Structure 1
Amino acid sequence: MAVTPTGGADRPDAGRGGGDLRRWRYFVVLAEELHFTRAAARLRIAQPALSQQIRALERQLGVPLLRRDSHGCALTEVGEQVAAEARRLLAEVDAATTRIRDLVRGRGGRLRLAYTRSARGGRVDALIAHFRAENPEVEVVAETGWTAPNVAGLLAGRLDAAFVRPPVPEPGLTCRIVDTEELLLAVPAGHPLATGRRRLDRAEVVDLLAVMWPRENGPGMFDRTIAQIWPGGGFRLVRQEPDDEQLLRAVAEGDMVAAVPAGRARALTVPGVRLRRFTAPTPTVDIGLAWRRGTTNPAVRRLAALLAAG
């Protein structure tokens, strides 16, 4: 049998302070006790007040929910159906309330996160593992991209946080350093610079044919790499590849060299490539975590706090 509200002052949205939900809670308890006195005691309200609220609920729905007698009450057929629906409604409300409280505390909700293609493992993965362990209720939606698309995703509001290669000059973003790693020179195994244990001097790489990823993928890292390894010029770009793995494969195939972050280069271990270190000052690149300034996402704030705590 369908239950149709009759309208008026007792509509579900009528009143203040969640009165309608309170009536549903009263009715559920009464449906369990089937006795006004016991239900009122359990709810810690006066019995006349409980009776008044249940009658108001019946007027609101336009159907009787109870059969009353001197010994107590019983649910009508409609009352049984309404009680079942009311239990489901209250369970959903309670669950939503818990989720909202967790969200406000940074322990719920969603974190849309982007990694950068040139940095995984180490402190990056450790930070996210720590965050997941402390915030199991947060849904982490992860993807991987270059720094420039990650920055664009943050500015557009499509991402909440992203790992990037600084510098990131956009004024609308905050960026904090997660880790710093050494830049190595990848050379073909048969190249004259592939042998020996000494570190390379910058002068030895001037005018060598080089392969690099497109600058638009991460302008800050691109420029910083060139400035540290070819500070006096002599950078001869002859080929571009989309990522570090392809850079190393290009090195293995010919007489080109490539500057690659140490973590990524050692993790890929492409045959036919040798990795060489430079003399001081050691060239380095940073990996940072960026997010929008003034973000209201508690999950981002908790992630930033974990980073700040070290």
Structure 2
Amino acid sequence: MDLRRVRYFLVLAEELNFTRAAHRLHIAQPALSQQIKALERDIGAPLLERGSRGCRLTAVGEVVTREAGELLAHADASHQRIRAAVSGRQGQLCLALTRSARGGPVDALIAAFRTRHPDVDLVVRTGWTAHNITELLAGRLDAAFVRPPLDIAGLECRHIAREELLVAVPANHPLARERRITRSHIATEPVILWPRENAPGMHDLITRQLWPAHGPRIVREEPDDEQLLLSVAAGTGIAPVPEGRARALRIPGVRLKHVTAPRPTVDLALAHPPADATPALHGLLSLVGTLPGPSAAAPSTRP
């Protein structure tokens, strides 16, 4: 199928008028008509019903309109990758973020990589730790930010940062008046958390640190930190949240509280396959140790 004809057809499908479509495409109207007829021959069915005041899409034309946008998007992406190869760009790096660690050292690391390696096509996605691990093991990612500990063989983990775990409470809750809260304060409080399957290691670590005796009394599960904090603001319960994410979201009606010693913490790591790292991945890993202060990386270890 001629992609140029598909592009012409999409403009015509928007205008439903050959004169206006030809004007947008900067071609003569008879030439546009010939290209559309040729596309109809390629497909084997009429795409338009022509009339004196314009045209309208046939049933097949409507299907082609829906599918053509995705087809052209894939074609454009492929074209960009080919052009990158021809112009000598240094490959591609597929990287996944974890939803609970946006900003801070993650953004700093990505910004540094883009600056140092402008010729690498950096493809960034976002997912939960468990999903990112699945994509890594399937070979669809080069590296991913995750929340350890991980009970997975076949991956290396490079420590990125450690941050304090805060407890979010409703603004009108008695605990909102406390300077610091104790584990006994929250032992029987209703708790909001995300599903354990999103990051089993982090989920269990939080439970051990904050509810060591009998575990939390979970009353609701939310898919992400923003929804979790909105539920706290509504008075549903309290919730443990990494400090960076909690302060970045700034949800009204929520108070963030430190917990008395021992201070609960969660880690952030960069997971990647242990061997066959691409030059682009080596470039990313070389920047991990340059992060300042408490975000500086520990040596690479198997999880």
TM-score, normalized by the shorter chain, greater than 0.5 = yes
Which of 245, 256, 265 is 1:275 aligned to? 256
| Structure-2 residue corresponding to 1:289 | 270
Aligned match for 2:189, one of 195, 198, 208: 208
CA separation of 1:96 and 1:271: change in aligned 2, threshold 3 A:
closer
* One-letter amino acid matched to 2:227: Q
Distance 1:264 1:309 in 2: 22
Structure 1: distance between partners of 2:181 and 2:92 = 46
CA distance in 2, matches of 1:282, 1:159: 34
SS at the partner of 2:259?
Answer: coil
Cα deviation digits, residues 107-130 of structure 1 (max 9, x gap): x10000100000011111111111
Deviation at 1:173, TM superposition (A): 0.5
* Distance apart, 1:251 and its partner CA: 0.8
**2:282 partner amino acid:** R
The residue number in structure 1 matching 2:218 is 237
Matches within 5 A, 1:165-176: 165-176=147-158
Question: Quick one: which of 121, 124, 129 aligns to 1:142?
Answer: 124
Aligned to 1:151: 133
* Within-5 A mapping of 1:1-310: 99=88, 108-197=90-179, 199-310=180-291
Choose 1 or 2 for highest CA Rg.
1
> Which amino acid letter does the alignment assign opposite residue 116 of structure 2?
E
Q: After TM superposition, give the deviation of residue 298 of structure 1 in Å.
A: 1.1
RCO (CA 8 Å, sep 6+): is it higher in 1 or 2? 2
- Please list the CA deviations of residues 75-131 of structure 1 after superposition, one character each: whole Å capped at 9, or x if unmatched: xxxxxxxxxxxxxxxxxxxx96872xx6xxxxx100001000000111111111111
Q: Distance in 2 between matches of 1:114 and 1:196?
A: 38
| Residues 185, 277 of structure 1: 8 Å contact kept | yes
The number of equivalent residue pairs is: 208
Change (3 A) 1:194 1:135: same
Q: Are 2:210 and 2:264, in contact at CA under 8 Å, matched by a contact in 1?
A: yes
Kindly provide the amino acid, as one letter, of the partner of residue 156 in structure 2: T
- Tell me, what secondary structure is at the counterpart of 2:260? coil
Mapped to 2, the partners of 1:274 and 1:289 lie a distance apart of: 30
In the other structure, the counterpart of 2:62 is: none
Decide whether aligned partners of structure 1 residues 113 and 234 sit closer, same or farther in structure 2, where only a CA change above 3 A counts.
closer
| TM-score, scaled relative to structure 1 | 0.65
Equivalent residue of 1:118, what SS? helix
State the 1:301 CA deviation: 1.2
Q: CA deviation at 1:255?
A: 4.1
In the alignment, structure 1 segments of 5+ residues that lack a partner are 1-94, 103-107
Q: Once the 2 structures are TM-superposed, how far is the Cα of residue 196 of structure 1 from its aligned partner?
A: 3.2
Aligned-partner SS, 2:157: strand
Alignment check: 8 A CA contact 1:207 1:234 kept: no
Q: For residues 109 and 255 of structure 1, do their structure 2 counterparts lie closer, same or farther at Cα, with a shift above 3 Å needed?
A: same
CA contact (8 A) 1:160 1:300 kept: yes
Instruction: Output one character per residue of 1:131-186: Cα deviation in whole Å (capped at 9) or x when no partner.
Output: 11000000000110000000000000000010000112322100111111110000
Alignment check: 8 A CA contact 2:85 2:91 kept: no
Distance 1:295 1:269 in 2: 41
**Scaled by the length of structure 2, what TM-score is found?**
0.66
SS in 1 for 2:223: coil
Contact 1:191 1:255 in 2 (8 A): no
CA distance in 2, matches of 1:214, 1:96: 42
Q: Secondary structure at the match of 1:277?
A: strand
Unmatched tracts of structure 2, length 5 or more: 1-83, 292-303
Report the CA distance between 1:308 and its aligned residue: 2.8
